[in-house]
Structure 1
Amino acid sequence: MLLHVPNVLSKEQVQSIRQAMEQDNQWVSGKKTAGGQAQQIKNNLQINLDSPLYQELNQFVLQQIKHSALIQSFALPKDILPPLFNCYQDTGHYGNHVDNAVHFYAEKNKAVRTDVSMTIFLSEPDEYEGGELVIEDTYGAHEVKLDAGDAIVYPATSLHRVEPVTQGARIASFTWIQSMVKDDWQRSMLFNLDMTIIQLRQKLGDCEETVNLTSHYHNLLRQWAEL
């Protein structure tokens, strides 16, 4: 299941991030964070992970992710890795790949399983040509090109790619989440149930039926969650 989350970052926040990137140019080759296989198909730039700029930006974006109720409901985060930042330009692209199953979270000195992937767009769609994020699932290939500040959240098990950017620059932030619920299908069921409960509460309030559904939601989460 793919989820479009609008306004994870406001336009003002996106502008502030972009200005900081322009004032402190810390772009390096994206191949530095790629494995041997990925280096053959990855052609982009990333913010230098050792720079003060990266430390400032990743903490800011991480807090905005944590504040998104929709992301919390969809991903049920146990751990969120510090966001990274990339730029595609001059035919930059990233061929078909599946994200690494495990990343090391240095700040917490632990391994994190990547259950959910997320990209937050930092460029407006009319700032560049090409650069679509293409995510494949059982229903086919989905092209994603969102407004700046919006995010796409999807299972990290998905085969995906970034098409070549033929004009302009596509700037984005991306990260991975280890969910309390490992199974994609179970997470989707819980998310759909949670959204239904919210809609019913808006229409009916805390009636007996919504209370019962809420009880079912939490009992399922209690059964499936890994803490």
Structure 2
Amino acid sequence: MLSIPSSIIAVPHLLPEQDLPQIDFLLSQIPFEDGKNTASGAAREVKNNLQASREENAHKRHLQQLVFQAVANHPLIQSAVMPKNILPPMISKYNNGMEYGWHTDSPVMTIDYTIRADLSMTLFLTAPESYEGGELVIHTPSGYVPYKLAKGDAIIYPTTRLHRVNPVTSGERIACVTWMQSLIRETERRELLFQLKHVQERIAAKDLQSGENLLLMQVYSNLMRMWTDL
């Protein structure tokens, strides 16, 4: 059965398993502060977590660079998101009782530089069995969908979606979050291009020079030319 890509994209092993001990060390060297310090508007009222201190820290910057490079170089993200800009990741921590209530992320975000936020990403940095609660819940057209992924896995979703982090009832949840501006502004067009590329690559794997593959490549290129937002 053909697997059709979705506007919510799971990225397993965004961080390779061999990199996780280094991530753990870097996290141990980063001070945290009240997450409300970086919230604005209504989000400030529902945000109860900790975030990596805004003060310059070499270990925080190194971790941000590792995550940034993993996002920028991942083939699935390149195909599905077509990122134009990626913000430096923010590192958040939830201890017992902490949560982030229902909210939508800001449409325009600034961390070192400013982008239009088209897609949000959560990268899980703690093993799911090490804490209770703490699920990322996204409001989708089919209902409320919880995500609690393996350490090093990520979930990407349109920034337009309502979402929350459920209360952590024991243990500690650490995650990276970042936002991306896509070359394709509209979610529906971006998803259509992702689906088209997905089908074209499956056909190309069987016969690179087939008429079907060449036609799909042409259609994909022409739609990109029509819709790309530079």
Q: TM-score range by the shorter chain?
A: over 0.9
Per-residue deviation, 1:133: 0.3
Aligned match of 1:51: 56
Query: Contact between 1:87 and 1:171, CA under 8 Å: does it hold in 2?
Result: yes
Instruction: Supply the distance in 1 between the matched residues of 2:207 and 2:95 (Cα, whole angstroms).
Output: 50
**Secondary structure at the counterpart of residue 91 of structure 1:** coil
Deviations 1:24-64 (A, max 9, x none): 14111111110142221111111113232222211121011
Corresponding pairs, count: 223
Alignment of 1:1-227 (within 5 A): 1-22=7-28, 24-52=29-57, 53-106=59-112, 108=113, 111-227=114-230
Structure 2 gaps, min length 5: 1-6
Per-residue deviation, 1:116: 0.4
Amino acid at match of 2:51: Q
Query: Contact between 1:49 and 1:55, CA under 8 Å: does it hold in 2?
Result: no
Per-residue deviation, 1:203: 2.1
Over 3 Å counting, the alpha-carbon distance change for 1:206 and 1:124 in structure 2 is: farther
Query: Contact between 2:11 and 2:76, CA under 8 Å: does it hold in 1?
Result: yes
Per-residue deviation, 1:202: 1.4
Amino acid at match of 1:192: Q
**Secondary structure at the counterpart of residue 172 of structure 2:** strand
How large is the Cα RMSD of the aligned pairs? Answer: 1.2
Query: Contact between 1:26 and 1:51, CA under 8 Å: does it hold in 2?
Result: no
Q: Percent identity?
A: 40
Deviations 1:96-142 (A, max 9, x none): 00000001242x5xx31000000111111101110000001211111
TM-score by length of 1: 0.95
TM-score by length of 2: 0.93
Instruction: Supply the distance in 2 between the matched residues of 1:15 and 1:171 (Cα, whole angstroms).
Output: 14
Instruction: Supply the distance in 1 between the matched residues of 2:104 and 2:115 (Cα, whole angstroms).
Output: 16
Instruction: Supply the distance in 2 between the matched residues of 1:206 and 1:93 (Cα, whole angstroms).
Output: 52
